[in-house]
Amino acid sequence: MPEESLIKRWADPLRLLALLIGILLEIGFCWQIWWLGQEMTFLWGLVALVGGLGTAAGLTIIGTGNPWLLFWLFLGLTLFIPFYGALGSTAITFYLWRATGGKLADQYASYIDAEDSRIADEGESTAAGTVDHMVRQELNIQSYMDIMRGPDRLLKKALIGKILSEWTPNAVSLLKQGLKDEEYEIRSYSSTALTTIENRMNGRILQLKDGIAENPEDHSLQFKLAQSYLAYASSGLLDPGSASHYVRMGSDILETLPLPPPDEEDQSLQMLSLHGQAARLSDDLETEERIYSQILEQHPQHQETLSHLCALLFRQKRFGELHRTCDLFLQHTVGDHPAQEAAHLWSSSANETGNEVSA
């Protein structure tokens, strides 16, 4: 029998009810046998057994790690050390909860920054840092989606903290996978994270609108609002119709903004990149490619632009250009990049297709 399958498949309200009944039976047993001195009978033995089962089963809703192991540990304590065993089991449960994830929900707000659609600084990993070395190694080795679909609750909780502290484009899809989890705690963490992300993004948009109402000529605020609209549209939180609406609003703002002076390269790059994002989200391939060409004229090794151009060429099946562009992207990529694996596959596919055509 899988280690997660014994207690966690109960409905969570039933487990809470089992915990309450178990505690009441434990107290009743101790009161009658220990404090009132009644004779031990088969009936009171049955009360102790049912109380131990209820307490052990109920405590596994809060505990972390292997529920099967925890269930038998708690059951043994409550049966062989009535009342005090239940207190000890509760103390163990509280310690495990605090040690592995009790603070994760409090950390969500500090992680989420909707202005640039990322969560906290890249160097942070506070949630994953609260778990042991083995868990961190598993997070590095296993596919994130495999973890979210797997049985290990501890890894899932650590992963939720990790993907919030190191925002990636598939973070929302991972959290949505968590909403389907059979474990209530994982569903709750995932739901809290998604709600907080959406609230922060909406809050940022309202804040920028208020700022623009007070300073209508502030182009930097308008740029940030367009940025927030597009970040929200591409977050994965919205249905296709709502996402298109936010893309249009972001594009409309960008059309009204003047281009930065030629000597302000950083601002010019940011403006062009945002125009490229709007075209990409609108599926305007011609405009998207034109903007990428403008960026690469000024910054021939710009990683993000090269990766997006690779994706565009792949969609259009322009394999000759795709092979060259992917090779250029891979040559100038420093460190890990989310598009590296895809670029390798695209380059290999383009090369094989080109050889077949030549033959």
One-letter amino acid of 330? L
Helical ranges in 123-166 per DSSP H:
126-129, 133-141, 144-149, 153-165
**What is the crossing angle of helices 265-282 and 219-233, to 10°?**
40
Could you tell me the two tokens for 203?
A: 């809050």
Cα–Cα nearest to 256, from 215, 286, 212, 226: 226
pLDDT of residue 274: 94
pLDDT of residue 121: 38
d(CA 310, CA 316): 10
Hey, CA dihedral for 124, 126, 127, 128, is it positive or negative?
positive
**CB atoms inside a 10 Å sphere around CB 202:** 14
**Cβ partners under 8 Å of residue 330, min gap 6:** 340, 343, 344, 347
d(CA 239, CA 176): 13
- The C-alpha angle with vertex 118 and arms to 328 and 286, in degrees rounded to 5, equals 45
pLDDT of residue 131: 39
**What is the crossing angle of helices 303-315 and 265-282, to 10°?**
20
Cα–Cα nearest to 117, from 4, 23, 15, 200: 200
In the predicted model, residues of the chain with pLDDT beneath 50 are 1-11, 63-64, 100-141, 356-359
